[in-house]
Amino acid sequence: MESVFDIFLLEAVLNGLLLGGLLALLSLGLNLIFGVIDVVWICYAELIMIGMYAIWWLHVGQGLSLWLAFPAAVVLVGLMGMALHYFIIRPVLAAEPINQLLVTGGVLFFLQALATVIFGIDFRNLGVRLPGFSVGDMYFSSARLLAFAVALAAIAATWLFLRRTFTGVAIRAISQDRSIMPLMGVNPGRIYLVTSAIGGALAGLAGCLLVLQYDVHPAIGLSFGPLTFLICVMGGLGNLIGGFVAAFVFAQFISVGGFLFQLEWGYVIAFVFFIAMMFWRPQGIFARSGR
Amino acid sequence: MLELRSVSAGYDGFQALSDVDLQVRSGEAVAVLGPNGAGKTTLLRVISRLIANRHGELLMDGRRYDAMPAWDVIGLGIAQVPEGRRLFPRLSVEDNLRIGAYLPAARGKVASRLDFVYSLFPRMRERRLQLAGTLSGGEQQMCAIGRALMSGPRLLLLDEPSAGLAPVVVQSIFGLISRIRAEGYTVLIVEQNVRQVLGIVDRAYLMETGRMRTSGTAAEMLSNDAVRKAYLGI
Amino acid sequence: MREAASALAPAPGRALKNVWLVVLALFLALPWLGTGQYPLHLIIIALIWSYIYTSWAIMGRLGMVSFGHGAFMGIGAYSVVLLWNLFGVSPWIGAVAGVSLSLLVALLIGYACFRFRIIGHYFALVTLALSEVVRLVIIALRDHTGGSLGITPKPGLADGASANLYAMQFSDRTVWFYIALAVWLTGLVLWKLADQHPSRRALQAISEDEDAAASIGIPVARTKLGVTLLSAGMTAFGGVLYAQYQFYVSPDTVSGIAISLQMVFGAIAGGMFVRLGPTVGAMFLLALSETLRILIGNEHHGVDMTVYGALLILFIIFMPRGILGTLLRR
């Protein structure tokens, strides 16, 4: 009996690891936007939802191959990110931060409602069954493993982009001193747009990975949106490395907590842990100085 | 090369520059002197188009550019080392230099330009991967100048390069500026450190409360009574 | 001569006051003026939401923008229903329990945030997570709470009776009208009292510059905590009212981010810096959803939220002070 308990706990831990990769991808997009533009996209999870619906519609509705639907979704949500910044966030950039939160809150409602109107409240399944596989007594879904691998690859690619390319350096610089960027030939508005496009594209990619594992419905954003915020706050809002680590920590709480108790308790435990962390390191465990 | 004609500029309700004329010819080194609040920094910001001028004309090589957006000015060959260095503290020294070459025309030449900058400032090469915020004041100034040089400019604007630096460091900075000038760069320096800057420039302007008071060669300015009384303590 | 003339022409201020009194009298007599059941229901709901939005705005207007008041409403609502259904405890006592529990949660989270200077984005996100956690706890306790399906209070009306005071159940809308009206007015009075309290100036200073306020000796954390507890308690009681009137609660209708955002939007749409602003906001939102229901019918329940979301965006961009705030230029 002891060894059976251990193996399933191990399974939960490993599944938590796989989940962590996906959550890390989610938090990367949100952290990037906040770190550069100083705005939280409350509607980030809803952008992911739109990506999921787009894939479902293209594949199940229009018969388009997944190999085409996935890139299409990434591009679509990337464009949505740019549009979000250009039309909705830019006008309130100079106002109080609360306004930026509220305006993206409005987008959250709008997108949820739009999805309800267009697709209805039923759960939509992609109709793609990826096989699972067993390691001993442990069972894993290959969709989850694939999501983990792709998420890490995307994170690595983004990291390289930020380190090596000129635009990447500009993105990293602009949050540190915006007003002198033009002296080096950088158009700050354009950098914001590029960052928004990347944030959107990462959301679109997350949608691709999620739609392989979960059915999509208009309220699905509530399942991982607030969690993503918590992860980012705990890692220090805007801190890419912090968010990465925090994602895996939270994923363990959810996976192991959900295994030991019920799924929802995993979230509760994660939140309690988060509150406890706040007493220890209020600005997030890896917060950047000055935020 | 650079010319300002009757330029006026200011901030909400405050006139910082009034009717300013200025010229910098190719290959020259020119200084702009004046006390705090004279409008010297505003002058450089106007030249770099960080602020729009209200009246007057900005010309580079005889062509007006006072409608140009700020981020295109570097394409004209004008690069500025802003007041207070303004490096990106959490980027490495090398990243700070690299972003100086953001201009598309400069990107292909990053490697050779980096070499050039490192040859001017060997200490930068040692500290390449260090975060810029951890450098000393003098090193930061070198890095900031290096960053401006990365775009391959023709005109280099320097805003108070000696500010906040120890005298020994100030000397080495001015020495470097001389070397840069000798490499063929045209230089416009805004400074409060009158004696030292007059030692390395050809001409100088004197500004007070937003207006040009007087101008002349370095030697003339050194012997100018107004300058001597106010700044050299004579 | 002059006195006679001024006595003949009533001062404009006095005339306005008379108009207000007449309106108030009419309003108080509303149930007796032949108002239909459905319009009366709308008014009651409007009053309850007005009170709830006012409760949120009492701290929201001071720079403490919480995205988590759904937590308090949910705690209040579920406390009364669960204690009644499971233990037969009167909702009056259940209300005390619900409000107390909300105060405890507000104390804990508020202390954590204020002591460690968690403001702005961080504060909003932490409170958002709080409302979600409450929602998740409600769902997780599904054996008692009915999970996502929600629960209704056990009927407590004896045959033929229209009221059960002990059970806080009244089938006569007239009674609910006066209860809602009284609570709404209480909310406005509390707002005014909060303004007259000595801490009001301190809170204003804090909302403008917390560091400066601290440096002149204002006990920032304690001061903020005070108004937070008031707001949380008031909101929890709003949840109690809502549960008992609507006679149905579910995790999504009384807790979670959607409800929290609705409160914020409602208060801001009307103008959160003005005392009657949240009320205007509630009326506006209700008018909006009713209009849409009439225009589009009951099937498309997504359309009103689409309009709602679009309006929120437009409001923030073009009218950040809200309807009343913009009208009054405040």
Residues in a beta bridge with A37: none
List all residues of chain A from 106 to 125 with a beta carbon under 8 Å from chain C.
106-117
Collect all residues of chain A within an 8 Å Cβ-Cβ radius of residue B99: 166, 169-170, 173, 184, 186
Higher pLDDT, C28 or C78: C78
pLDDT at A1: 45
User: For helices A2-37 and A44-56, what crossing angle results, to 10°?
Assistant: 110
Poorest-pLDDT segment among A14-23, B93-102, B140-149, C304-313:
C304-313
Chain A residues in contact with B100 (beta carbon < 8 A): 184
- Mean pLDDT of the region B2-6: 84
Q: Which residue of B has its CA nearest to A185?
A: B71
Chain A residues inside the 8 Å CB shell of B48: 182-183
The neighbour count for residue B61, using CB atoms within 10 Å, is 12
How far is residue A218 CA from its own chain's centroid? Answer: 17
pLDDT value at residue C324: 74
Chain A hits for B68, Cβ within 8 Å:
none
Question: Would you state the pLDDT for residue A291?
Answer: 34
> How far A183 CA sits from the closest chain C CA (Å)?
30
Cβ burial A262-286 (10 Å sphere, 16+ → b, else e) = bebbbbbbbbebbbebbeeeebbeb
CA distance A163 to chain B (A): 9
Q: Is C329 exposed, middle or buried (0-12, 13-18, 19+ CB in 10 A)?
A: exposed
User: Is A27 near chain C, with CB under 8 Å?
Assistant: no
Nearest CA in chain C to A279: C112
Does B107 sit within 8 Å of A182, measured CB to CB?
A: no
Q: CA nearest C278: which of C12, C53, C119?
A: C53
Looking at chain B from residue 46 to 65, which residues have their Cβ under 8 Å from any Cβ of chain A?
48-50
User: Cβ atoms within 10 A of the Cβ of B88, count?
Assistant: 22
Mean pLDDT by 10-residue block, N- to C-terminus, for chain A (291 residues)?
A: 66 88 93 90 94 93 89 96 95 84 89 90 84 82 89 94 93 91 93 96 94 90 86 84 90 84 79 78 54 34
| pLDDT tens profile C30-50 | 777 777 888 888 999 999 999
Q: Which fold, B2-77+154-231? A: Rossmann fold (3.40.50)
How many helices (DSSP H) and strands (DSSP E) are in chain C?
16, 2
Q: Return the pLDDT at A162.
A: 93
Rounded-to-integer distance, Cα C258 and Cα C262, Å: 6
Q: Which two tokens stand for residue A45?
A: 């999870």
- DSSP track, chain B: -EEEEEEEEEETTEEEEEEEEEEE-TT-EEEEE--TTSSHHHHHHHHTTSS--SEEEEEETTEE-TTS-GGGGGGGTEEEE-TT----TTSBHHHHHHHHT-SHHHHTTHHHHHHHHHHH-HHHHHTTTSBGGGS-HHHHHHHHHHHHHTT--SEEEEE-TTTT--HHHHHHHHHHHHHHHHTT-EEEEEES-HHHHHTT-SEEEEEETTEEEEEEEHHHHHH-HHHHHHHS--
Report d(CA C144, CA A151) in Å as an integer: 39
Measured CA to CA, the distance from residue C35 to residue C38 in angstroms comes to 8
Boundaries of every domain in chain C: 36-157+164-253
CB–CB of A186/A175 below 8 Å?
no
Region B41-49 average pLDDT: 91
Nearest CA in chain B to A171: B99
Among the partner-chain residues A88, A113, A116, the one whose CB lies closest to the CB of C313 is A88
Subunit partners of chain B (3 or more CB pairs within 8 A): A
Residues in B closer than 8 angstroms to A185, CB to CB, are 71-72, 74-75, 102-103, 151
Residue A92 has its nearest CB partner, among C257, C306, C316, at C316
Q: Which two three-digit tokens encode residue A235? A: 């890692």
Judged by a CB distance cut-off of 8 A, whether residue A29 touches chain C is no
**In this complex, do B99 and A179 lie within 8 Å of one another by their Cβ atoms?**
no
Q: Could you tell me how far CA C314 lies from the centroid of its own chain?
A: 23
Region B174-189 average pLDDT: 90
pLDDT greater than 60 at residue C6: no
* Nearest chain B CA: its distance from A171 CA (Å): 10
Q: How confident is the model at residue B196 (pLDDT cuts 50, 70, 90)?
A: confident
Query: Does residue B104 register a pLDDT over 70?
Result: yes
In angstroms, the Cα distances linking A237 to A228, A286, C253 are: 11, 9, 30
Q: What is the helix (H) or strand (E) element at residue C272, kind and residue range?
A: none
Instruction: Indicate whether B157 pLDDT > 80.
Output: yes
A166 with B99: Cβ contact below 8 A: yes
Mean local confidence (pLDDT), C142-159 = 82
> Do C and A touch (≥3 CB pairs < 8 Å)?
yes
| A221 CB within 8 Å of a chain C CB | no
**Four-way CATH pick for A2-280: 1.10.3470, 3.30.420, 3.40.50, 3.30.930:** 1.10.3470
Structure confidence at residue C50 (pLDDT): 95
Q: Which residue type does B67 have? A: A
* C207's tokens: 């909302």
Q: Quick check: A106 and C67 CB within 8 A?
A: no
**Close Cβ partners of A21 (under 8 Å, ≥ 6 residues apart):** A147, A148, A149, A151, A152, A247, A248
Task: Quote the pLDDT of residue C330.
Answer: 53
Question: For chain B, how long is the longest CA-to-CA vector?
Answer: 51
> Is pLDDT of C119 > 70?
yes
Residue C12: predicted pLDDT: 59
- Say if the Cβ atoms of A182 and B50 lie within 8 Å: yes
DSSP code of residue A287: P
CATH 3.40.50.300 segments of chain B: 2-77+154-231
- Summary mean pLDDT of chain C: 84
Q: Tell me how close the Cα of C300 comes to any Cα of chain A, in angstroms.
A: 7
Size of interface A-C (CB pairs under 8 A): 141
| pTM (predicted TM-score) | 0.86
Shortest distance between the Cα of A79 and any Cα of chain C, in A, equals 19
Instruction: Give the residue on B whose Cα is nearest the Cα of A178.
Output: B88
Q: How confident is the model at residue C261 (pLDDT cuts 50, 70, 90)?
A: confident
pLDDT value of position A8 = 80
Helix (H) or strand (E) holding C118: none
Chains that touch C (3 or more CB pairs under 8 A): A
Question: Which residue from A272, A179, A215 is spatially nearest to B88, judged by alpha carbons?
Answer: A179
Average pLDDT, chain A: 87
- A185: nearest CB among B89, B98, B151: B151
Paired sense of beta strands B29-33 and B211-217, if any: unpaired
- With contacts defined as CB-CB under 8 Å, which chain C residues touch A91? 317
All residues at 6 or more sequence positions from B182 whose CB lies less than 8 Å from its CB, including other chains: none
CB atoms within 10 A of CB B169: 17
b/e for C218-237, b at 16 or more Cβ within 10 A? bebbebbbbbbbbbbbbbbb
The pLDDT > 90 percentage for chain C reads 28
What pLDDT sits at residue C167?
77
Set of chain B residues whose Cβ sits within 8 Å of the Cβ of A180: 82, 86
Q: Which residues contact C106 (CB under 8 A, 6 or more apart)?
A: C72, C228, C229, C231, C232, C233
Interface size, chain A vs chain B, as Cβ–Cβ contacts under 8 Å: 65
Burial annotation A105-120 (CB, 10 A radius, 16+ → b, else e)? bbbbbbbbbbbbbebe
Q: Is C163 helix (H, G, I), strand (E, B) or coil?
A: strand
| Amino acid letter for position C69 | H
The pair of structure tokens assigned to A11 is 């399974």
Q: Which residues from B are below 8 Å from A166, CB to CB? A: 98-99, 101-102, 107
Q: In this complex, which chains have at least 3 CB pairs below 8 Å with chain A?
A: B, C
A279 with C116: Cβ contact below 8 A: yes
Pairing of strands B155-159, B78-81: parallel
B82 Cβ under 8 Å from any chain A Cβ: yes
d(CA C64, CA A193): 30
